[in-house]
Amino acid sequence: MSGATPGDAPATHGVPATIEQVAAMLRARGERMTGPRRAVLKVLAERDEHLSAEAVLSRVAAHDPGVHRASVYRTLEALSELGVVQHVHVTHGGTAYHLVRDERRHLHAQCRSCGAVYDLPADLLDDVEADLAHRHGFHLEAGHVALSGRCRSCFEQLSS
């Protein structure tokens, strides 16, 4: 028995619910759980938002100013490779990160005008994905970049 909170599954794979589960996943690959990594996970878990690396940094820094920018970038990359974090490329300011949650799988759309990022149903592009795979051999990963366009209010503003 480990020191995991009662009710936790061992979870050395799949979508983890606690920091200790992520720690186990890291150790299973010969990697380690550290202060900065814990801090980044906490920030991502606190809010269900799409945070830029810089936004993660400043929230981490609020509680622990010692954590360096480079460590945040390296942590986000490590957690992405683990499959615990997903990153989405957006056009405005780089890359957005969030925890992977089974219940919350979704796609992204970004407004070209105001930069806001919206969540879309996960299955929106399923048909297109199948079509691309069969007809072109291209394996779409639809969640990896935000679709671009105009949100309702920006669109109306353009017409007026």
Partner DNA sequence: CTGCTTGCAAAGTGTTTGCAGGCCC
Partner DNA sequence: GGGCCTGCAAACACTTTGCAAGCAG
Min. distance of Cβ 99 from its own copies in angstroms?
20
Stretch that binds its own copies, among 11-19, 21-29, 47-55, 120-128 (CB under 8 A): 120-128
CA distance 28 to 82: 11
Q: Is 160 in the site for its own copies (CB under 8 A)?
A: no
CA distance 33 to 80: 15
Instruction: List the 95-99 sheet strands across, edge first.
Output: 51-52, 95-99, 85-89
User: Interface residues for DNA in 32-71 (CB under 7 A)?
Assistant: 32-37, 52-54, 66-71
Assigned token pair, 154: 């920006």
Binding site for its own copies (CB under 8 A): 89, 91, 109, 111-112, 118, 120, 124-125, 127-128, 131-132, 136-142, 144-152, 155
